Structures are given as C-alpha cells and as structure tokens.
Amino acid sequence: MSTDDYRPFIPQPPGAKIAGPTPRAHALARTQSPRAQGLFANWERMFNEPFHGITTGGHVIPDLYAPRPEGAPTQAMIEVVHAVLALMSPEQKKVSCFQVGSQQWRRWQNTELYVEDYGLRLDEVGAPLREAVMAVLRASMSTKGYELSRDVMRLNRFLGDIVGGPAVLGEWSYIFCLFGEPSSSEPWGWQFFGHHLVLNCFIVGTQMVMTPAFWGAEPSYADHGPFKGIRLFQDEERAGLKLMRAFSAEQQQRAIVAHSMMGGDLPEGRRHFADNLHLGGAFQDNRIVPYEGLKGADLTPVQRRDLMDLVDKYISTLPAGPRAARIAEVERHLAETHFCWIGGFGEDSAFYYRVQSPVVFIEFDHHAGVFLTNAEPAKFHVHTIVRTPNGNDYGFDLLRQHYMHAPHHQHRHHDHHHGDKKD
C-alpha cells in the first residue's frame, strides 16, 4: 500500500469524529474534553501576552522592515472591500469590523471548531456576500495564491464528505473580518480563517504583509466527487526534497534535527498533539524558536538558488510587486537563513522542514490523522505555515512605524507598541 493512499484510514461509523449535526453543536461537544479545554486555555494565556513577534532568542532584531512602495494592488482591493461593505448589514459590520491596531487580529485558529462569536461566517450568509468576500481574496493574492486557498476550502468539503460531516467541514466554513477602513494611504487589512486555511492581510499604501498564513489539507487530494483532480502541496514537497537531496552527506547531517517524526531521536516535548511538529501555529505570536540546521552561508551557489526556489513556492501566493519585494528581503538575509529537517527523505518518507531567517519563517509538516485514522504522519495530510518574524506578523511593525511617523497618529504610537488591546 502506498503511503499516499488515505482510503484505508477513513473512519467507519461510529468512529468518525464529527460530534454534532451543526458546526456549533460539534464545537460544543468537542470542547468538553479536558485536552481541548487545556488547549484553549493555553491559547487564551498566549493571546493575553503583549505582541512581540517570533524571535530566535526573545529579542526582536530592530530595523528589519521599513515603509516603502511595493506595488500591491491596493486600489483594486479597496474597490472589492467596498463592495463587501455595501452588502453587509449594520449588525454584520458590528461583529466583523475592528480597528486596524486591534489585538483581535491574533485570535485566528485553524481547527474546525466554530467557537467564535464575531466575524462574517461564510456558510451563514447568502451567495452574493460570499462571492464578494472571495473577490477580496482574489484581488489581494496572485492567481496561484487564490486558487490554492480555494482548493483548500474545496478539500475541506471533500474531507467533510468522506467522514460524514459536510455541515461541520464545509467549503464555506470560514470567517472573514475587516481591520481599519480601506484606504490608499492609511493602514488597514482583512483576515480569513477556518479549518486548514488562515490568511492575514495588512496593507499600508502599496505595501502588504500576508502573514501569519496557513494552508493545509487532509487528505491533500480528491480522487472522486465534484472536486476530483485537486492535488495540493506537491511543489512544496518536491522542492524541499530536492534541496535536501542536493546537500552533501555532511550537510544533510547538519540539517537533520531528528530522523524520527515521532519518538525515537525526536527531542522530548518537540511534538505537540495539536500542532504536531509546527512551532508557528495559532497563538504562537511570541514563540522563541532558535535557529537549527544548515546555514545559508554554508551552501553552494546552486544550493542557495534551490533554497530561494523553495522560499518562492510560499511567497508566490502574493501579487507580483509584494512577491518581488519579499524575495529581495529574503535574499538580503540569505547568508543567515537556516534550513532544518525532521524525518527521512526517501520517496515514501513523511517529513518536516523549516526555513527561518530574520525576515521569513516557513514550515512544512506531514501530519498524523485528525479526522482520518492514521496514527503516524502521512504524506496525504499536509500543514504549511508562513510567518514574518521579529515583529512584523499582521504588519504590526509597519503599523508601529506608521503611528510613529504620521503626525495625526503620534498619540497612538505608545499604546500600540506596548500591545494594549484596542477594539
């Protein structure tokens, strides 16, 4: 049996993990467990810490980010957001619109559990409003980024169908929020999140930050039904393997943190029941993640090119201008960019890798089953995460600088920098 075949792991009733007929009923039942309650309590604790950003040692490296024009499609984005606002009721606006500096940005999570009492939930609104929201995603991303995000949503429904919970795991089980007022000069943004898909998009002028971002799928392809033919994350998987296999034996040894994805030589506590091997997941905004693995300075020119190709697989979800700006930013720090690996690198091996530098944080992880029953990580369940370390997730460092330098914002700078909650 190929390790890529998810079908042996489809749960048979009554083994399916769908715990209620509606998203709310399912969430209510699931959050009764001590493990879920512990997870949510820990998330709440981390949310209440002032935001600093992911760092390697607990201290933010200063002056990494600066306001500059990057050619983001701001005008097109403003138009589609106005179309969304025109379709929203006063009540919908009240629960979905926040100030741009609000800590509400940080409340996203990527489970299927519908526990939020805010935001515009797409499976609860009519088709016109739903399509208007999708137009915001389309205008804000590259064609690849938009199609990847839509396919994640479609595969979420595919999962719902195969495990008998299409109401809980649906194509439209996602929440949309707006931050600030759409503007060509003032900072604003939007957020979209749900199971296996999280997008945070901050804009100021023609500059854009689209992290934290999360794309995943279980299974990562559909082999029947209306979404047959969708297959995701092959490029990200192949580019990681290509890089790892291009290393010398000595380089590989330095890149490998552990050979085992579970137990074995995996450092104790490294694996988490909800995040598996991810370190940059929900509510990990301030996580300290020391560099591991092989450094860019120790790569050959060809290996550096392969590393940049790998980074671009994730950055290419952005529109052309911001994508070019991000790539240039990563290249400026290429010598101090680290690449590490957990697992094997044969054709059938499940694995984890991370690309980490002062300005980028990318994780790829093969996961064990959540709704499927595979107890060990499998290649058909993939999670990917992109973050902007050192304080610029959600564009918060650019926002801080905007508040600091724009005369009409001077009084707000102090509050935001210290992470005070503003709704």
**Rounded to an integer, what distance in angstroms lies between the CA atom of residue 310 and that of residue 242?**
9
Residue 198 is classified by DSSP as E
Question: Which are the contacts of 347, defined by CB distance < 8 A and separation ≥ 6?
Answer: none
pLDDT at residue 12, rounded to an integer:
87
Cα(325)–Cα(207) distance, rounded to whole angstroms? Answer: 9
Q: What share of the chain is helix, strand, coil (3-state, %, to 5)?
A: 40, 15, 45
pTM, to two decimals: 0.95
* pLDDT score of 419: 41
Q: What is the 3-state secondary structure (H, E, C) of 346-390?
A: CCCCCEEEEEECCCCEEEEEECCCCCCCCCCCCCCCEEEEEECCC
Q: Rounded distance, CA 294 to CA 302, Å?
A: 15
Q: Which phi-psi region, left, alpha or beta, contains residue 283 (left: φ > 0; alpha: ψ -120 to 50)?
A: left
Cβ(204)–Cβ(399) below 8 Å:
yes
Q: What is the pLDDT of residue 78?
A: 98
Q: What is the mean pLDDT of each run of 10 residues along the chain (423 residues)?
A: 80 86 96 96 97 97 97 98 98 98 97 97 98 98 98 98 96 98 97 98 98 98 97 97 97 97 94 95 98 98 98 98 98 98 95 98 97 96 98 98 79 44 36
The confidence score (pLDDT) of residue 420 equals: 38
What does the pLDDT read at residue 365?
A: 98
- CA-to-CA distance for 207 and 205, rounded, in angstroms? 6
Residue 3, pLDDT score: 58
- Domain spans of the chain? 21-28+45-227+395-417, 234-392
Distance CA 162, CA 380 (A): 14
For residues 53 and 389, the answer to whether their CB atoms sit within 8 Å is yes
Beta bridge partners of 179: 98, 189
Provide the pLDDT for residue 253.
97
Strands 120-121, 351-356: pairing is unpaired
Region for 53 from its dihedrals, namely left if φ exceeds 0, alpha if ψ lies in -120 to 50, beta otherwise = left
- Cα–Cα separations (whole angstroms), residue 6 to 117, 228, 314, 357, 376: 34, 14, 25, 34, 12
